[in-house]
Amino acid sequence: MQRRFIDYLVISLKGIAMGAADAVPGVSGGTIAFISGIYEELISTISNVNISLFKTLFQKGFKAFWNQLNGNFLLALLSGIIISFVSFMRLAKYLLENEPVLIWSFFFGLIIASIYFVGKQITKWNIAAYVGLILGAIIAFYISNLPSLANNENSLFLFFAGALAICAMILPGISGSFILVILGAYKTLSDALHDFDIKRIAIFACGAVIGLLSFSHLLKWLFKHYHNFTLAILTGFIFGSLNKVWPWKETLTWHLNSKGIKTPLLEKSISPFSYQGDSQLLIAILLMIVGFLTIFILEKIGSKT
């Protein structure tokens, strides 16, 4: 695929959007990749990282290796993801603690639009597609209601958390950050990024790489053999995740860490009119509309590149 510099710049911007989404527990960067038109290329590119790729490196040189890797695409996308994820994670942490209704409102609108754009790519609605849609929604809804575990800083645990989270990050609808929250690894990773703890970051990254290479092969196979059914499951994932990003919640149980700081452990979605405190309803609705329109813009950009 022949691309110009401006095309790679747009891919980097899509990476920035993916990284920002993945930094928020409840929103998947995979959804952004799907809507912006690069999802299947991303999965195919990742799954092509194998032994034959490194044979090409030693036998034909770096240029042939880079072309077979689709290196320009990966470099542009990963640059955007990494820069955005590391920088936006701090902002996301602040917004989640101080303006939770507003940030969830934006992403709620974003995900509502995502359901339409992913679902419309299903070319044939049959029994299998409906079963996939319902199954995906049930799984995502169940995951979104799991209580968070206590914070865990064990190195081996962080490795496996990275492997599981990266699988969720490339699945539309299931947030890798939310998986980290459930596992009790989100704070450990955010602290490591904040403190530039190279050891913990490296352990997490190793787990993420192994998880990504393994899971991408499965996704590529599913798209090749069960394209419609896979799309239906992914649409269901996004639909089922709406519960997690509903802006107005009531905290049922709290977790008290070693420093005496309370964080929500189990929450349930409630009506904005039952919300304790300022529901910020008007601003929330406006942000939902902004999130909804953001997906339309991404989809329009994606159809041109």
* Residue 253 binned pLDDT confidence (cut-offs 50, 70, 90): low
Taking residues 90-112, what's their average pLDDT? 82
pLDDT tens-digit series, residues 210-233: 888 888 888 888 888 888 898 898
Is pLDDT above 90 for 174? no
pLDDT tens-digit series, residues 16-40: 888 877 777 666 778 788 777 788 8
Rg (CA), the chain: 19
Taking residues 197-218, what's their average pLDDT? 85
Is pLDDT above 80 for 97? no
| Per-residue confidence (pLDDT) for residue 305, from 0 to 100 | 52
Is pLDDT above 90 for 134? yes
Instruction: Report which of residues 85 and 125 the model is more confident about.
Output: 125
| Per-residue confidence (pLDDT) for residue 283, from 0 to 100 | 92
Is pLDDT above 60 for 89? yes
Taking residues 142-158, what's their average pLDDT? 71
